Amino acid sequence: MLVFRKSPSLAVPIMAILAMAPSANAFTACQITDTGGIDDNSFNQTAWEGVLQAQADLGIDARFLESEAETDYEANITSLLGGACDIMFTIGFLLGDATQEAAEANPDQLFSIVDYSYNPSLDNVLGQVYATDEAAFLGGYLAAGMSETGIVGTFGGINIPPVTIFMDGFAYGVEHYNQRHGTDVVVLGWSPETRQGLFTNNFESLDDGRAFAQNLYEEGADIILPVAGPVGLGSAALADELGPDELMIIGVDADMYQTDPERGHVYLTSIVKRMDATVYQVIEMVRAGEFEGGIITGTLGNGGVDLAPLHDFEGVVPADLVAELAETRAGITDGTIVVGTD
Amino acid sequence: MSVNDTLDSAKEQLLRRAAPGRAQFEDLVIVPLFAVAVALMLGALIMLATGIDLPTVGRSFIALLAGSVGSLGALSETLVAAVPLVLAALGLALGFRTGLFNIGAEGQILMGGLAAVIFGFTFDGLPFAILMPLSLLAGMLVGAFYAGIAGWLRAATGAHEVISTIMLNLISYRLLDYMLRLDWVQREGRSDPISRSVPEAAELPRLLEWLDPNLRMHAGVFVMIAAVIVVHWLLFRAKLGFEFRASGASPDAARYAGIRAGLIIVLAMATAGALAGLAGANQVLGVLGRASPGFSAGIGFDAIAVALLGRSHPVGVLFAGLLFGALEAGGRQMQVDAGVSIDLIGIIQALIIVFIAAPLLVRALFPWGFRAASKGDAE
């Protein structure tokens, strides 16, 4: 009732807010998440940190909209159109269609999408893509070296390229370790050849994360790489109960040791995708008037992707293995090691 | 004495049934109005309790209003969100009237929507005037069939429709995942479960595109209005609708009156499924242009609330659906303007349901509202 009694005078504050929104000097960066939400400890959160960093350093305004369902993508983009945002970040492959449609209908609005590139490219969309397989390769190598059962596992959210690229790199890294050491470490949950594997088919359910990890654990895996945003937190919960001697988790997107500190001790490492860095870079480009449609790529070489520090496992991981990892990293960046089938 | 009392109260009931105006008005209009008001107030209190300051709370309610009815774009978004809710809720309302508690709208939406997409891209090349209506029809038929399974199970074996529709929902999720991976359904060049695009001739045309390409309101609005009229006619003017309602009011009496209970259950479920299928077809042909896992987005469950809020009356369902559509569109704006979480809208919706489901609670909270009404004066 409180609200409705005021209704005759509502017009005034509405006008005031409408007048405030497009003020001339302010620069606003907007982010639209996928269904994982802004606080997913991983994918969307990392990108948002780039926006927040820019807010702190450059004094820009920042807004975000969370998508509850995939039917929200287009609606969310629409509700931020109309000049409120100088740059709109759409986070994730799944927003590819919606972003393209909005970009074509609104040629003056700048967009930057994570994990998607358009062919042919659009003038007002900058895709941020990552050679995640390079960092995942190191993760796979480390996992193969650390596994006591000789079995490691992985599962994904949805069978889409930005997810499977992690699993590819991971599997190739394990293979590389096997070749070098003559071992026979097995990867469960993904085959780079058949392009088939384990998928939860969502990026939300922590229960699925737990159940999938449980299955892999029962098959003998002692290190698991969940590539499904917040779903991996469910796997970490299982590892927390079993203890890191039984089951370790490799985090994705962010350094999960830091984003999920309560269970930090179960993360062997994380395969980090520095969306915060690229998002920040794009904001700077827009402010400097240097925005161009196309793609920017994050690699191991330019720091766009990386392996997180070992944190609690510093000292637990044998020095030889650490040295081999450094060697492998150098090999990938100078091109002597090619990630992929050779 | 006691016999007289019983007679008196029976007489009273008869009279009330003969002149339903006042009681029905209170039940249909005043209870929902108060429920919405209380839910909004409690929503404000929850915002305050979670550390949001008073100006932000005020701003978020203004945003809720502005984002739902404050502009042409807002109205368009409200309608886009309301259309599938109203369609699915009409089907559920019809089921409630027949005494069937159908939880399966979600699955029926998925199956109907998938059928509409498949029909659309399979018969690509047919002219709009044929392809679009037939795609809608395909969605309705498959939705009807899918709901009919639960109806048949109930009629033939006595399996309760609540259980069987929940199970059919779960089956529909996996069936959709499976279908979306079939070569002839999956979009070329994609490895994730996503269907081919619906051709333009099968799409429900956007009505306001000539004004602004971002206005998403589409011809599904007319489908919704037509469905409200048809369901109203079916329930209150047609013989079949009378049989539905009679079965719902008293299954035994209906049976003794010669109504074939089994047939009525199957028909009611199928009609409800057809409407849910239509809602799904409307989503894929009007909004999404494709099918992918989870395109139903919980509409089938929200529709249960809409049907209850609308008191299972077609016109009530229409208004309840518009309200929920407005909450959805406005909730988005709340997030944009005030940074309030979209989850809060979910809480407000849930609170509305709680108060709707407990009319006595609302009457106890606002006795003066009902006194005013009983004097024949509407607010």
| B26-78 pLDDT tens trace | 777 778 788 888 888 888 888 888 888 888 888 888 988 888 898 898 999 99
Distance in angstroms (rounded) separating the CA atoms of residues B318 and B321: 5
Beta-carbon contacts below 8 Å between A and B: 94
Q: Does position B364 have pLDDT exceeding 90, yes or no?
A: no
Contacts of B59 in chain A (CB under 8 A): 13, 17
- Put simply, the answer to whether B333 touches A201 (Cβ < 8 Å) is no
Q: What is the DSSP letter of B205?
A: P
Among A3, A69, A79, select the one facing B332 at the smallest CB separation: A79
User: Predicted confidence band at B13 (pLDDT cuts at 50, 70, 90)?
Assistant: low
Q: Which of residues 130-149 of B touch A (CB under 8 A)?
A: none
Asked whether B339 and A63 are in contact (CB, 8 A), the reply is: yes
Asked whether B335 and B328 are in contact (CB, 8 A), the reply is: no
Low-confidence spans in chain A with pLDDT less than 70: 1-25, 341-342
Give A313 to chain B, closest Cα distance, Å: 35
Distance in angstroms (rounded) separating the CA atoms of residues A226 and A200: 10
The answer to whether A70 faces chain B, any CB pair under 8 Å, is yes
Question: Domains, chain A, ranges and CATH?
Answer: 27-130+276-298 (3.40.50.2300), 132-272+310-333 (3.40.50.2300)
Write down the pLDDT at residue A11: 42
Average pLDDT of chain B, as a whole number: 86
User: pTM score, two decimals?
Assistant: 0.80
- Put simply, the answer to whether A160 touches B191 (Cβ < 8 Å) is yes
Q: Which of residues 218-247 of A touch B (CB under 8 A)?
A: none
- Put simply, the answer to whether A10 touches B65 (Cβ < 8 Å) is yes
Give B351 to chain A, closest Cα distance, Å: 15
Smallest CA–CA distance from B68 into chain A, residue: A79
Distance in angstroms (rounded) separating the CA atoms of residues B293 and A64: 24
Among A4, A17, A164, select the one facing B62 at the smallest CB separation: A17
Q: What angle do CA A38, B331, B81 make, to 5 degrees?
A: 110
The more confident residue out of B298 and B23 is B298
The answer to whether B174 faces chain A, any CB pair under 8 Å, is no
The answer to whether A84 faces chain B, any CB pair under 8 Å, is yes
The answer to whether A159 faces chain B, any CB pair under 8 Å, is yes
**CA count, 13 A, side-chain hemisphere, A211:** 7
Q: Which residues contact B117 (CB under 8 A, 6 or more apart)?
A: B135, B195, B196, B198, B284, B285, B290, B291
Among B81, B192, B214, select the one facing A158 at the smallest CB separation: B192
Residue carrying the six token digits 């489908």: B223
The answer to whether A161 faces chain B, any CB pair under 8 Å, is yes
Of A280-294, B13-27, B286-300, minimum mean pLDDT range = B13-27
- Put simply, the answer to whether B41 touches A164 (Cβ < 8 Å) is no
Q: What are phi and psi of A271, to 5 degrees?
A: -95, 105
What distances in angstroms separate CA B228 from CA B62, B94, B233, one per listed residue? 30, 11, 9
User: Predicted confidence band at B366 (pLDDT cuts at 50, 70, 90)?
Assistant: confident
Q: Which residues contact B152 (CB under 8 A, 6 or more apart)?
A: B266
Contacts of A81 in chain B (CB under 8 A): 214
Instruction: Determine the angle formed by the axes of helices B239-249 and B261-283, rounding to 10 degrees.
Output: 110
Residue carrying the six token digits 């915002």: B47
A57-100 pLDDT, tens digit each:
998 988 888 888 888 888 889 888 877 899 999 998 889 989 99
Write down the pLDDT at residue B147: 95
The answer to whether A75 faces chain B, any CB pair under 8 Å, is yes
Asked whether B104 and B147 are in contact (CB, 8 A), the reply is: yes
The more confident residue out of B17 and A89 is A89
Contacts of A68 in chain B (CB under 8 A): 297, 342
The answer to whether A3 faces chain B, any CB pair under 8 Å, is yes
The answer to whether B58 faces chain A, any CB pair under 8 Å, is yes
ipTM: 0.74
B234-244 pLDDT, tens digit each:
999 988 988 88
Write down the pLDDT at residue B336: 81
Quickly list H helices, chain A. Answer: 2-5, 11-20, 43-58, 72-80, 96-105, 132-146, 161-181, 206-218, 231-242, 256-259, 275-287, 319-333
Q: Which of residues 163-222 of A touch B (CB under 8 A)?
A: 164, 195, 201-202
B321-353 pLDDT, tens digit each:
999 999 888 888 888 887 777 777 788 778 877
The more confident residue out of B308 and B3 is B308
Write down the pLDDT at residue A12: 42
Distance in angstroms (rounded) separating the CA atoms of residues B64 and B62: 5
* Cβ neighbours around B375 below 10 Å, total: 8
Torsion of CA A247, A320, A188, A190, to 10 degrees: 120
Q: What are phi and psi of A154, to 5 degrees?
A: -150, 155
Residue % of chain B over a pLDDT of 70:
91
- Put simply, the answer to whether A201 touches B193 (Cβ < 8 Å) is yes
Contacts of B81 in chain A (CB under 8 A): 75
What distances in angstroms separate CA A258 from CA A43, A267, A318, A320, B46, one per listed residue? 14, 10, 23, 26, 30
Write down the pLDDT at residue A103: 92
Q: Does position B304 have pLDDT exceeding 80, yes or no?
A: yes
Residue carrying the six token digits 């259309």: B83
Burial readout A78-109 (b: 16 or more C-beta within 10 A, e: otherwise):
bbbbeebbbbbbbbbbbbbbbbbbbbeebeeb
- Put simply, the answer to whether B297 touches A68 (Cβ < 8 Å) is yes
Write down the pLDDT at residue B371: 56
Smallest CA–CA distance from B35 into chain A, residue: A1
A210-247 pLDDT, tens digit each:
999 999 999 999 999 999 988 999 999 999 999 989 99
Distance in angstroms (rounded) separating the CA atoms of residues B378 and B345: 29
Asked whether B105 and B303 are in contact (CB, 8 A), the reply is: yes
